[in-house]
């Protein structure tokens, strides 16, 4: 604790007066001291996760916030410390809404059953004209006409990584170099960097390597496989 704050608390009955100027000085002192120690003190992130997932046995963590920053860091921490190997669902309130509210399970439970189908006598009749229209065959192509063959190109990991990073940066793909790392592309914006890494973990799971933000996009895609 700040020695200045400790001194104020020790003399609190004398420090807390009705004098406005003294109250203003006291408020300014407390604000500066508390913020200074907040910024300078360690956050004890690892100890916190060890307590939450280890001692308390939490197996489902939901981050409520604008973007999945802390959940992305939590996934990386779980892979690198003594909790490695424990199954923990790390979710974000917006990104994983369906999983959080069990939307898929509810849909399966409330889906139609055979008993809800209409009886044969209640089946709607299809007009004869509609039936005939569905049976009309397409016109034959003129002789010598060759239909174009479209070949499905497999989606490469680099394409996904490249598109994801460009989307988060709000830049065209051409402006995002695959030879640069996420850390270089975000220009020191650690929050944006953590968001991108969190989205990569959501897309590729445990395939994302440690310190993914320091690899070029090409090397990162190769490491993911």
CB 114 within 8 A of CB 129: no
Phi and psi angles of residue 60, each rounded to the nearest 5 degrees, phi first? -145, 110
CA distance 179 to 181: 7
Q: Which residue has 């968001």 as its token pair?
A: 195
Query: What pTM was estimated for this model as a whole?
Result: 0.43
CA distance 190 to 195: 9
Q: What DSSP element (H or E) covers 218?
A: helix 217-224
Q: Angle at CA 215, nearest 5°, toward 40 and 197? A: 60
pLDDT of residue 216: 93
State the Rg of the chain over Cα. Answer: 30
Q: Which residue has 């400790």 as its token pair?
A: 6
CB 162 within 8 A of CB 178: yes
- Exposed/middle/buried for residue 52 (C-beta within 10 Å: 0-12, 13-18, 19+): middle
pLDDT of residue 132: 46
- Nearby residues of 60 by Cβ (< 8 Å), 6 or more positions away: 88, 89, 91
pLDDT of residue 61: 92
- Per the rule left: phi > 0, alpha: psi between -120 and 50, beta: everything else, 57 is left
CA distance 67 to 198: 9
> pLDDT tens digits for the chain (225 residues)?
788 888 888 877 665 566 777 888 888 998 999 999 888 888 888 888 888 888 888 999 999 988 888 888 888 888 876 666 678 899 999 888 888 888 876 666 665 555 544 455 555 555 544 444 454 555 666 665 555 676 777 888 999 999 999 999 999 989 999 999 999 999 988 888 988 988 898 888 878 888 889 999 999 999 998
Residues 16, 17, 19, 22, CA torsion sign? negative
Distance of CA 211 to CAs 40, 138, 157, Å?
A: 24, 56, 18
């Amino acid at each position: 604790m700040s020695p200045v704050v400790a001194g104020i608390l020790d003399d609190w009955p004398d420090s807390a007066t009705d004098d406005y100027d003294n109250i203003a000085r006291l408020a300014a002192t407390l604000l500066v001291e508390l913020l200074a120690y907040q910024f300078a003190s360690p956050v004890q992130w690892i100890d916190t996760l060890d307590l939450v997932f280890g001692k308390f046995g939490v197996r489902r963590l939901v981050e409520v916030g604008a973007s999945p920053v802390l959940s992305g860091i939590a996934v990386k921490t779980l892979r690198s410390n003594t909790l490695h190997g424990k199954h923990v669902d790390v979710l974000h309130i917006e990104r994983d809404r369906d999983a959080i509210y069990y939307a898929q399970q509810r849909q399966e439970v409330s889906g139609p059953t055979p008993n809800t189908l209409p009886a044969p006598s209640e089946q709607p009749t299809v007009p004869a004209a509609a039936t005939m229209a569905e049976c009309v065959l397409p016109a034959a192509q003129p002789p010598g006409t060759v239909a174009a063959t479209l070949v499905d190109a497999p989606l490469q990991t680099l394409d996904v990584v490249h598109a994801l990073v460009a989307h988060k940066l709000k830049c065209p793909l051409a402006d995002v170099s695959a030879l640069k790392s996420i850390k270089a592309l975000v220009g020191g914006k650690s929050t944006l960097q953590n968001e991108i890494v969190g989205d990569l973990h959501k897309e590729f799971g445990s395939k994302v390597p440690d310190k993914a933000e320091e690899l070029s996009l090409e090397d990162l895609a190769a490491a993911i496989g």
